[in-house]
């Protein structure tokens, strides 16, 4: 579980866009990247991001 204070300050490292949080990933709708959450820790590295599309 990611702390609410951390959620409030995190932005996408690629485009500085707002993020949407899910159980296993963090999604940037602006640049369409999905960052993984591993063992409760967000991995906010551009090279770890996967392409994201709505409904996926």
56 within domain boundaries: no
Instruction: Flag whether 33 is in a domain.
Output: yes
**What would the mean pLDDT of 3-12 be, rounded to a whole number?**
92
Enter the pTM of the model. Answer: 0.87
CATH code at 9?
Answer: 2.20.25.10
pLDDT at 9: 93
Question: With contact defined as beta carbons under 8 Å apart, do 33 and 25 qualify?
Answer: no
Per residue, the 3-state secondary structure of the chain, as one string, reads CCCHHHHHHCCCCCCCCCEEECCCEEEECCCCEEEEEECCEECCCHHHCEECCCCC
Q: How far apart are the first and last CA of the chain?
A: 22
- Using pLDDT thresholds of 50, 70 and 90, give the confidence band for residue 56: low
Domain residue limits at 29 = 4-51
Domain count, the chain: 1
Q: Assess if residue 22 is contained within a domain.
A: yes
Q: What digits encode the pLDDT tens for the residues 18-54? A: 999 998 999 999 999 999 999 989 999 999 999 998 8
């Amino acid at each position: 579980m990611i702390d609410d204070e951390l959620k409030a300050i995190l932005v996408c490292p690629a485009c500085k866009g707002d993020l949407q949080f899910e159980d296993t990933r963090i999604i940037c709708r602006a640049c369409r990247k999905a960052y993984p959450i591993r063992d409760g820790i967000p991995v906010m590295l551009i090279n770890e991001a996967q392409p994201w599309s709505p409904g996926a």
